[in-house]
Amino acid sequence: MKLRTSATSPYARKVWIVAFETGLADRIEAVPTNVWDPATDVIHDNPLGKVPALIADGGEAIYDSPVICEYLDSLHDGQKLVPPAGGARWTQKRLEALGDGILDALLAKRVETMMRPEDKRWPVWIERQEAAAARGLAQLEDEVAGWGDTFLIGQIAVVAVLGYLDFRFPDLDWRARYPALAAWYAVLSQRPSVAATVPVA
């Protein structure tokens, strides 16, 4: 398998964590991809022009991160990271959606503030993204005590969120605002799959 990936993409990090947790990382060839390069050919593997995109052994392209993660989870016989049915499944899928939604807001803010010319930035849009991310993080802060030792797809998405905050928004000091999340993340940061996938510039 090949994975169109980026060392800075939190969505790609989700996939890599799943790959390590399921023992599939050695079966995946990383294909570093810059989606902002006008000459990129990523659109042949994902018409949306995004990473991650997985090219399976049979040649079919699979995207985006929730679909790739569930696909990888189907390829091993160990504990499933995406529960197959029932309330546990929807709890984890909701948590994954919340994490991905926070990432969507943070990435929208970053594009608006770092890539758009200053005179064309929309402050109301930036504030909207900041508010969405803050509400999402507050919800995670309320829930984290109930997770215990659970580390499934929802918690993997939360790891991607908190790692991205450290990587792209270190000035936000999220640990002071969300101490329960900070304590949880300090423990999870030692997990091999998490430590092996820390984003780098």
Domain end (from 16, 41, 73): 73
Residue 158: phi and psi, rounded to 5, are -65, -40
Cα 176 from Cα 121, distance rounded (Å): 29
**Starting from the edge strand earliest in sequence, which strands make up the sheet with 53-55, in order?**
29-32, 2-5, 53-55, 61-62
Is residue 197 in some structural domain?
no
Are residue 53 and residue 103 in the same domain, yes or no? no
What pLDDT tens digit does each residue of the chain (201 aa) get? 999 999 999 999 999 999 999 999 999 999 999 999 999 999 999 999 999 999 999 999 999 999 999 999 999 999 999 999 999 999 999 999 999 999 999 999 999 998 888 888 899 999 999 999 999 999 999 999 999 999 999 999 999 999 999 999 999 999 999 999 999 999 999 999 999 999 987
| Average pLDDT over the chain, rounded to an integer | 96
Domain end (from 73, 102, 118): 73
Q: What is the pTM of this model?
A: 0.96
Summarize pLDDT for 36-61 with one digit per residue, the tens.
999 999 999 999 999 999 999 999 99
Number of domains in the chain: 2
Domain end (from 73, 108, 132): 73
Cα 21 from Cα 18, distance rounded (Å): 5
Are residue 90 and residue 141 in the same domain, yes or no? yes
Q: What CATH number has the domain bearing residue 21?
A: 3.40.30.10
> What residues does 3 pair with on adjacent strands?
30, 54
Task: State the CB neighbour count (10 A cutoff) for residue 174.
Answer: 21
Q: Which domain holds residue 106?
A: 86-191
Q: Does the bond joining 149 to the residue before it have cis omega, within 30 degrees of 0?
A: no
- For residue 197, the model assigns a pLDDT of 98
Residues 154/143, Cβ–Cβ less than 8 Å: no
Are residue 107 and residue 161 in the same domain, yes or no? yes
